[in-house]
Amino acid sequence: MIVMKFGGTSVEDAPAIERVCEIVRSRAAEDPVVVVSAMARVTDQLLAAGQAAAAGDRDLALESARSLRQRHHRTASEMLSGNHLAQLRPLLDSNFNQLEELLGRIAGAQELSPRNSDHLLSFGELLSSEMVSAAIAARGLACEQVDARECLMTDGSHTRAVPLFDATKARLEARLRPLLARHAIAVMGGFIGATLDGTPTTIGRGGSDYSASIVGGALDAARIEIWTDVPGMLTTDPKLCPEAELIPEISFEEAAELASFGAKVLHPATLLPAIEKNIPVYVLNSRDAAGAGTCIRAHVERNGRPVRAIAAKRNTTIVNVAGERAWIPRGFLRDVLAVFDRHECQVDIVSSSQVSISLAVESGSATPELLADLQRFTQVICEPRQAIVGVVGENLRGRQGIAASVFGSVAAAGVNVRMISQGASEINIAFVIHDEDVPAAVRSLHKDLFSGAQADEDQSWMPSPGMSRAGMNCL
């Protein structure tokens, strides 16, 4: 079997869903399980409706729900007719009735709790999976919508629930194996799951990619395909730099680093189940099904370029913490990190001196409670509106002078660097800059590393036998 995941833009309207059907049909002999995101922008609109309801604007919330209902029905009638349409309509309406009821309850409570937020957002994927399943069935293929809340089991940490892998595998085996045995195509929503007692959860924004690889890992898929709106993984985000080029193949390690540095094309956790089972992951363009896309797998040929790709993680805050004296007492670093840990705040980059520590974190996780807890240290200063830029490539290992090239390029763009880190993996160089400087820095880096003299094929830097990695690692 294979897993095929289609993102929001790939199911955004009737022509998009028709393309999905054709792509699925072309793979039907390989027993696909299809995982879909909500139609483009629906998750944001559901969230906005929930926030409006919580703020007391019940009318605005219900108006949003009505417009979503219309969009789904319009799309359904553009792609289906007769019995197929007649069977889908009540399924959509039943979901929208529940959605409106929930918005009413949120308005009554005047609060959008994480638990209600997950319940609310789950409708996006429930609706799109009903639509795509109906569209595939209308083409004469055996197909069934599967409720992801019955299969993807998670803990109860709402809005970023953690999958329970054993329970999920057992549920997926029980629900999907019989379908696969009779060559029926399962269509399930990504991103959503449920606790063991059936409360809906979500696994974090952009999480449908992760759902797909969880399914692929659990059922030992031959491959996992991530169908999206770009030709594959590119050398950087084409929205930042139109010159970005397709990467034909990339290693698990490199792709995972890029995802963790903000390459939105893959949710950061996507590759974990694939790595564990050594399942290749393909990133493909649903608007150009014949395109080669990107193959992500364990080992790939090195090319002569120093860098495989550049990513940027926006929405970052630097938290600077200073100790009591000009000399850090023993345990200072440990005590500061313990506070971040207690508040479940993931630290992306740390740099420390003898008198202070700077930590780059996702802006939303630098909560007032965390900052209040840090006040016991002498000084806490936050710098919002920052971004982490990650330069990634296996060839960075031991490449002399690459840091000079990277920071020279950033300096030439007139951009100031606030923090620097070279990961223990040695396949990335990461640094923090002002968010507004991201486009200039990325374009300059892309020009210098992919089309400048640095980009030339050059193997002369390759390590000589006997040289230790640490010794080669020359910043």
Residues making contact with ligand ASP (CB under 6 A): 7-8, 37-38, 43, 124, 190-191, 205-208
190's contact among ligand ASP, Mg ion, ligand ADP, none, with CB below 5 to 8 A by partner kind, is ligand ASP
Q: Which is nearer to ligand ADP, 22 or 101 (CB)?
A: 22
Report yes or no: 180 and 212 within 8 Å, Cβ to Cβ: no
Query: Which residue number has the CB closest to ligand ASP?
Result: 208
Report the nearest approach of ligand ASP to the CB of residue 142 (Å). Answer: 26
User: Would you state the structure tokens that stand for residue 210, as one six-digit string?
Assistant: 């992760």
Q: What 3-state class would DSSP assign to 366?
A: coil
**In contact, 45 and 121? CB cutoff 8 Å:** no
Nearest approach in angstroms of CB 441 to ligand ADP is 15
Q: Which of 207, 217 has the CB closer to ligand ASP?
A: 207
Based on the shown chain and the rule CB under 5 A, indicate whether residue 189 belongs to the binding site for Mg ion.
Answer: no
The C-alpha atoms of residue 118 and residue 125 are separated, in whole angstroms, by: 11
Under rule CB under 5 A, how many of the chain's residues touch Mg ion? 2
CB-wise, 228 or 358, nearer to ligand ADP?
Answer: 228
* Residue 207 interacts with, from Mg ion, ligand ADP, ligand ASP, none (CB under 5-8 Å by kind): ligand ASP
Q: How far is the CB of 244 from Mg ion (least distance, A)?
A: 17
| CA–CA distance, 387 with 433 (Å, rounded to integer) | 6
Cβ closest to ligand ASP, residue 224 vs residue 419: 224
Shortest gap between Cβ of 249 and ligand ADP (angstroms)? Answer: 14
**Considering the complex, what minimum distance in angstroms separates the CB of residue 439 from ligand ADP?**
13
Contacts of 345 (CB under 8 A, 6+ apart): 361, 365, 366, 367, 370
CB 267 within 8 A of CB 209: yes
Residue with token string 């399924």: 91
| 3-state SS assignment for residue 427 | coil
Rounded CA gap, 42 and 47, in Å?
9
CB atoms within 10 A of CB 56: 11
For 163, the token pair is: 């999958």
Nearer to ligand ADP, 340 or 431 (CB): 431
Q: Is 450 exposed, middle or buried (0-12, 13-18, 19+ CB in 10 A)?
A: buried
Q: Which of 32, 50, 163, 206 binds Mg ion (CB under 5 A)?
A: 206
Maximum Cα interatomic distance, the chain, rounded to a whole number of Å: 77
- Measure Cα distances from 254 to 40, 272, 314, 412 in Å: 28, 13, 19, 26
52 vs 234, beta carbon nearer ligand ADP = 234
Residue 434 interface partner, choices ligand ASP, ligand ADP, Mg ion, none, CB cut-off 5-8 Å depending on type: none
Contact 151, 175 (CB under 8 A): yes
The residue written with tokens 């959503």 in the block is 192
For residue 260, the minimal CB distance to ligand ADP (Å) is 12
Q: Which stretch binds Mg ion (CB under 5 A): 53-61, 206-214, 329-337, 349-357?
A: 206-214
Nearest to 11 by CA among 149, 145, 129: 129
Nearest CB to ligand ASP, comparing residues 116 and 395: 116
Please name every residue paired with 320 in a beta bridge, in sequence order, or none if there are none: 358, 381
Q: Return the one option of Mg ion, ligand ADP, ligand ASP, none that residue 191 interacts with (CB less than 5 to 8 A, by type).
A: ligand ASP
User: Which one of ligand ADP, ligand ASP, Mg ion, none interacts with residue 43, CB within 5 to 8 A by kind?
Assistant: ligand ASP
Nearest residue (beta carbon) to ligand ADP: 7
Report the nearest approach of ligand ADP to the CB of residue 7 (Å). Answer: 2
Residues found near ligand ADP in the complex (CB under 6 A): 7-10, 37, 206, 228-230, 233-234, 236-239, 263-265, 309, 311
Residue 38's binding partner out of ligand ADP, Mg ion, ligand ASP, none, with CB under 5 to 8 Å set by partner kind = ligand ASP
Q: Residue 391 Cβ, how far from Mg ion at the closest point, in Å?
A: 22
Q: Which stretch binds Mg ion (CB under 5 A): 1-9, 40-48, 412-420, 435-443?
A: 1-9
What is the per-residue DSSP string for 205-249? TTTHHHHHHHHHHHTT-SEEEEEESSSSSBSS-TTT-TT--B-SE
Q: Quick one: DSSP state of residue 456?
A: S
Binding site for Mg ion (CB under 5 A): 7, 206
